[in-house]
Structure 1
Amino acid sequence: MQICLQVFRNFFNIFFEKNISCMFFYLQMRRAMKKYQIIYKDLEKAIHDQKYQVGDFLPTEQELVQSYQVSRDTIRKALTLLVEEGLVKKIHGSGSQVINQEQINFPVSDLTSYQELIVQQGLNSQTNVISLDKIIVDSKLSERTGFSNSRQVWRVVRQRVVDSCASVIDIDYLDTSLVPQLNRNIAEHSIYDYIENQLNLSISHAFKEITIDNATDQDKILIDLGKDQHVVCIRSKVYLTNGKQFQFTESRHKLEKFKFVDYAKRRH
């Protein structure tokens, strides 16, 4: 019995000391943080704990000023951090609204159009066509895309906005000899649907390369990167069933918005 009591006392002392140490560390950390960082952490936790759910608005700036007894500038710094982390979006005249944090499951091995993924996963998305033109492939672009030198191609730049967050830039090059007509309406909806159902071409397979790239100036303008300095980049050469390459696409993704999944099977 005495041994059991001694074991219990030892356990209690260790447990108590560790928890006191953890609490002391937490308080020291809070003291070291600036006020706007503390407010940011509090609101971040409230969002993750679903006190504020998707679609809810955070308390107004004035309410937060009164609650924390700080300046409006301090509150705005905290809210800016939440925006940069993709937790909320600012709506003029309404305040800060919590946005969806779900990632899109992007199957690496499948050849699925962006529009098909959005429909499958029930996400709210908008496509903005930034530019659409015809260009002649030079030697540098030929090496990058796989299209022969001097070939004419369509160049399409599209911005994908998922749940109010600009998340993807798609840069497509399409062989004009195989896709002679293209317009902004087609590009806004689904190029693959047009190719398969209007041009009656059969898309077969693609070779994909996935890298983490430094964000370009274009990325910083067209994607809501926050503090991120990198993007996930998928480069694909896409072929028809007759073996002809009709497309090269470069998809540049916001890091935390997308999840890439695959199915692997061991060979025997």
Structure 2
Amino acid sequence: MNTKNKYYDIYLQLEERILNKTYAAGELIPSENLLAKEFHVSRETIRKALVLLLENGFIQKMQGKGSIVIDRERYAFPVSGLTSFKELHEAQHMNATTKVIKNEYEVLPERVRQYVSLPKGAKAWHIERVRSLSGEAVILDKDFLLEEKIRKVADHELENSLYEYLENELGYEISYAQKEFTVEPVTEEDRKWLDLKQDSHVVVVRSAVFLQDTTLFQYTESRHRLDRFRFIDFARRR
């Protein structure tokens, strides 16, 4: 094991144990002393590895007990970041698939037009995708591409990554977003496309997305099943 990267190598091994459920959700992982003996390193090296597990959402420290494995079936969606679904599922090892259910150029619905303050009759590419995790449909994404120069994006690109295509193939510089989070009653459309079981509400994330030059570029509405996600942010007291 590389001396300089001992703690990181240990982190990767512990991460793999959590992902393959050797350490199951809700269980305590071995103590610092036991891990230090197993890996033949100091407790300080183990602490550094545990800090990485903590920062990446794999464990939670319990006062007087140790470190408990967090339920990774509830995936972490960053509140402040502007991250594509593909980037999220690759970073968090999600078993995810995407299905395109709409890809049409049409007049903006009135509620969307008002949200982004565009004139009546404004048009956009209206894209809808269902995101499934481990075979369950848990997100309904509705995107409206407001940039007039954009032409139809092929379904296979939408199933891979819209942002990857727009940035790498078309050269758009997607920069920042204004987000709104609400909990709302499920709609008939939600019930049609999502595996909601007995859920009565969904988490809805609405975003106005802007390019580097401050051009309003996209409106998106993501409707999430309540039990599969936790929305996270990092805050520091000034």
- Are the structure 2 counterparts of residues 230 and 136 from structure 1 closer, same or farther at C-alpha, using a change threshold of 3 Å? same
| Aligned-partner Cα distance in 2 for 1:107–1:101 | 15
Once the two structures are superposed, residues 110-140 of structure 1 have per-residue CA deviations (whole angstroms, 9 ceiling, x without a partner) of: 0000110000011111101111101123644
| Aligned-partner Cα distance in 1 for 2:176–2:231 | 18
Other-structure match for 2:192: 221
Tell me, yes or no, if the aligned pair for 1:196 and 1:202 is still in contact at 8 Å.
Answer: yes
Which range moved further: 245-254 or 147-156?
A: 147-156
Tell me, yes or no, if the aligned pair for 2:210 and 2:217 is still in contact at 8 Å.
Answer: yes
Q: Quick check: 1:157 aligned with 2:131?
A: no
The residue identity in structure 2 corresponding to 1:148 is P
Tell me, yes or no, if the aligned pair for 2:98 and 2:132 is still in contact at 8 Å.
Answer: yes
Tell me, yes or no, if the aligned pair for 2:25 and 2:72 is still in contact at 8 Å.
Answer: no
Mind listing any 5+ residue stretches in structure 1 that lack a counterpart?
1-46, 51-99
Tell me, yes or no, if the aligned pair for 2:112 and 2:219 is still in contact at 8 Å.
Answer: no
Q: Quick check: 1:128 aligned with 2:60?
A: no
Structure holding more helix per residue: 1
The residue identity in structure 1 corresponding to 2:96 is S
Other-structure match for 2:220: 249
From 79, 88, 94, the equivalent of 1:108 is 79
Other-structure match for 1:117: 88
Mind listing any 5+ residue stretches in structure 2 that lack a counterpart?
1-23, 28-70
The CA RMSD over aligned residues, in Å, is 2.1
The residue identity in structure 1 corresponding to 2:173 is S
The residue identity in structure 1 corresponding to 2:129 is R
Which range moved further: 258-267 or 170-179?
A: 170-179
The residue identity in structure 1 corresponding to 2:86 is Q
Other-structure match for 2:172: 201
| Aligned-partner Cα distance in 2 for 1:242–1:183 | 26
| Aligned-partner Cα distance in 2 for 1:153–1:120 | 30
Percent of residue pairs identical: 35
From 190, 193, 216, the equivalent of 2:161 is 190
Once the two structures are superposed, residues 41-64 of structure 1 have per-residue CA deviations (whole angstroms, 9 ceiling, x without a partner) of: xxxxxx9899xxxxxxxxxxxxxx
Once the two structures are superposed, residues 141-187 of structure 1 have per-residue CA deviations (whole angstroms, 9 ceiling, x without a partner) of: 31034443322200011000011111100000002514223121111
- Are the structure 2 counterparts of residues 196 and 148 from structure 1 closer, same or farther at C-alpha, using a change threshold of 3 Å? farther
Other-structure match for 1:258: 229
Tell me, yes or no, if the aligned pair for 1:137 and 1:147 is still in contact at 8 Å.
Answer: no
In structure 1, the residue corresponding to 2:120 is in which secondary structure? coil
Which entry has the higher C-alpha Rg, 1 or 2? 1
| Aligned-partner Cα distance in 1 for 2:158–2:236 | 36
The 5 Å alignment of 1:8-23 reads: none
Other-structure match for 2:64: none
Tell me, yes or no, if the aligned pair for 1:212 and 1:231 is still in contact at 8 Å.
Answer: yes
Tell me, yes or no, if the aligned pair for 1:179 and 1:195 is still in contact at 8 Å.
Answer: no
